[in-house]
Homo-oligomer: A and B are copies of this chain.
Amino acid sequence: MAEIGIGIIGGGYMGKAHAVAMSAVGSIFDTPLRPRLEMVSASSPASAEGYRAAYGFARAAQDWQELVNDPRVEAIIIASPQNTHRAAAEAAFALGKPVFCEKPLGASLEDSRAMVAAAKASGCVNMIGFNYIRTPASQAARKMLADGVIGDITYFKGEHTEDFLADPKAPATWRTTGRANGTMGDLAPHMINAALALMGPITKVSAEIETVHKARPGGAVTNDDHGQMMCRFANGAMGHMYFSRIATGRKMGYAYEIHGTKGAIRFDQEDQNALWLYLMDEPEEMRGFRKILTGPAHPDYLPFCQGPGHGTGYQDQIIIEAKDFLTAIHSGRSVWPTFQDGLEVMQVVEAAWSAAQSGTWTEIPN
């Protein structure tokens, strides 16, 4: 079995999740390529050393440049803040190294475009971290939609709602400044990605974006608390999405409901092991939304557990990403979702900002 040296930039929330994933993925998926936790970098050498010890990396880097340049680092995971994504990715691609980058692709549309260009120019494997779409349930939903199980789609409703800033007295932090850290920059990409993955391209949007609590203990808030968009899909369906970090009561409100001519699908990440399906073609007295518990019959479930209904969790999504990234590297062919998918999400985000400004519909070029 071949080994590959992994370098992770950032050891925080997501850096840890990816380190864990790389430790576990081999035994779970019996991957042909086995990751070796080679190096980790962070905002300081000291914190990098702390992460090294905690997660079991061989070495800590002085900075991300050292990590990217290290010859034993053969694949790179970017799990540092959005404004670091572009430089790190470009450097890695320049050296011909595959890159997995956390969402959002870049801190801006411009960064994102540059990153896609660099990826393409290099020919390297590239992937973006939209983990929620990787649950067995959402993968199953995607497959059902592709198979036409619920017919032609007429309406898509999506949301990504959390409430970590619902309390107006919650203090200002780095999250409350910088467009890339606001709701549209930080939370919306997950659900926009879901919309694109499940429904196909969006052609236009009309939107509102707003900072509700403009000042918090500790400072002014300069980015958005919530936003919504009406949208139109290339398949003709009407749609709506809502994004919020002040949606009191919602913890992981990544949810969608899709209506088609033959049925409907409903999902809520807060109960991530269930997928709701309605099929019109049943005797009237027996029709209803059925709650399907994920199990071995659904994508990427079996390697975690032989029993249906036993459930996967957040960390498992990252492990599935790790498997896909290793598979891509092994075969030399990027697998969905790539940087290009990350860019397409950014284009919708950008269009939403423009529509929110103008108060009218903004077209999205494809």
Contact = CB atoms under 8 A, between A and B. Distances in A.
Interface string A224-264: 01101010100000101010101111111100000111111
Nearest to A26: B56
A295 interface: yes
A193 interface: no
A154 B309 contact: no
A210 B206 CA distance: 16
A271 interface: yes
B259 A293 contact: no
A364 interface: no
Interface string A324-366: 0000000000000000000000000000000000011100000
A24 interface: yes
Contact of A309 (B168, B246, B270, B276): B270
Q: How many copies of the chain does the oligomer comprise?
A: 4
A323 to B, nearest CB: 13
A23 interface: yes
Contacts of A45: none
Interface string A49-61: 0000111100000
Contacts of A28: 16, 20, 315
30 contacts: A16-B27, A27-B54, A27-B55, A34-B56, A140-B285, A150-B248, A154-B225, A155-B226, A157-B242, A164-B307, A167-B261, A210-B238, A226-B238, A228-B240, A248-B263, A249-B259, A250-B264, A251-B309, A252-B307, A252-B308, A252-B310, A253-B309, A270-B311, A275-B288, A276-B288, A288-B290, A304-B314, A305-B313, A311-B313, A315-B316
Interface of A: 1, 13, 16-17, 19-20, 23-24, 26-28, 30, 34, 53-56, 140, 150, 154-155, 157, 162-164, 166-168, 206, 208, 210, 212, 225-226, 228, 230, 232, 238, 240, 242, 244, 246-253, 259-264, 266, 269-278, 280, 283-293, 295, 297-298, 304-316, 359-361
Given A277-B288, A359-B361, 16 more contacts: A13-B306, A20-B24, A20-B27, A26-B55, A27-B54, A154-B212, A154-B248, A163-B259, A166-B261, A208-B238, A249-B280, A251-B309, A253-B309, A269-B309, A270-B311, A274-B288
